């Protein structure tokens, strides 16, 4: 039995952006190949941002071109990347990204630290960039960041999150992610927020036969230990796309308290124990997580790569 979840591996982007030790391009290509071998078909390989601000992403253009040149972009595989502005869009198009991810923070403080813009400025700009990306034939995923709280401001009003989402829907975009940048989400708040989005998408016409059905994604950080619980709540609320990171790597450098992402192999382990995911190779992910930890020379936040999977009964 499959659970309808699509894993979107973000370790190569969100996972690495906090790391001081730069990962060589060849090592990234090896890790991506092993993710593909394990059955992960959607991988965020980098971000088109200023290399001086995020040195780990300086090779994103080269990396995407190399993946395509080596035939690693196979049927059913999507290589995504993050963009923040028009220059990033141009680079993403030139490099051959299959999907571009971009978003707006629901926290004024986080928005200014992350983009130098207010929420209103960022929303208008991102909608325009997303429209240009779709016009060029790319898939687009828009996100509301700090959707469940902000490390600087604390609680973020639910109405503000839904207001940003409404602007995305009204502009015709149908794939929307909620990102728990600060790790403040709880399972009940996750269910309520996605229920609100689903009601809104229905009112906006995001239904089959009328612009396409809305598809929801989630991006949880494990800052306070609730990432897997929040993933389960999102699944119950009908979320399809789950952004996770190998070994639990990650953290936003522009939030107050950075925490790792929901861990890819830990989520797969949980779902497989529940009988809900059989199309992903857990052993390959565990081996890769161990090698990533060895590369950085320290234990990483993930649990299962250190403990091993629970033995199957029988």
Catalytic positions, written as ranges: 252
Give dist(CA 195, CA 234) in Å, integer. Answer: 10
DSSP strand E in 21-171: where?
Answer: 42-48, 78-83, 99-105, 139-145
How far does CA 236 lie from the centroid of its chain?
Answer: 19
Please count the residues of the chain.
314
Contacts (Cβ under 8 Å, ≥6 apart) of 190 = 148, 218, 230, 233, 234, 237
CA angle 85, 204, 100 (to 5 degrees): 25
Give dist(CA 246, CA 10) in Å, integer. Answer: 8
**Could you tell me if 55 and 63 are in contact, meaning their C-beta atoms sit under 8 angstroms apart?**
no
């Amino acid at each position: 039995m499959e659970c309808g979840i699509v894993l979107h591996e973000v370790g190569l982007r969100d996972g690495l952006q906090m790391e001081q030790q730069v990962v060589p391009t060849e090592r990234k290509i090896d890790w991506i190949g092993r993710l593909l071998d394990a059955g992960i078909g959607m991988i965020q390989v980098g971000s088109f941002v200023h290399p001086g601000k995020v040195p780990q992403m300086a090779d994103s253009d080269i990396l995407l071109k190399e993946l395509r040149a080596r035939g690693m972009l196979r049927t059913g595989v999507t290589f995504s990347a993050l963009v923040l502005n028009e220059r990033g869009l141009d680079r993403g198009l030139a490099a051959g990204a299959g999907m571009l991810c971009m978003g707006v923070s629901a926290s004024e403080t986080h928005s200014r630290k992350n983009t130098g813009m207010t929420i209103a400025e960022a929303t208008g700009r991102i909608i325009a960039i997303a429209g240009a990306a779709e016009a060029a034939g790319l898939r687009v995923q828009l996100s509301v960041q700090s959707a469940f709280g902000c490390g600087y401001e604390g609680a973020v009003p639910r109405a503000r999150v839904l207001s940003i989402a409404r602007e995305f829907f009204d502009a015709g975009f149908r794939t929307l992610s909620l990102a728990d940048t600060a790790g403040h989400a709880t399972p009940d708040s996750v269910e309520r927020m996605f229920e609100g989005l689903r009601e809104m998408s229905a009112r906006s016409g995001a239904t089959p036969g009328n612009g396409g059905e809305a598809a929801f994604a989630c991006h949880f950080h494990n800052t306070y230990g609730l990432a897997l619980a929040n993933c389960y709540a999102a699944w119950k609320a009908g979320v399809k796309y789950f952004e996770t990171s190998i070994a639990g790597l990650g953290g936003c450098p522009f939030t107050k308290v950075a925490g790792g992402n929901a861990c890819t192999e830990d989520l797969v382990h949980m779902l497989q124990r529940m009988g809900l995911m059989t199309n992903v190779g857990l052993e390959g992910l565990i081996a890769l997580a161990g090698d990533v930890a060895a590369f950085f020379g320290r234990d990483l936040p993930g649990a299962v790569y250190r403990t091993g999977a629970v033995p199957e009964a029988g």
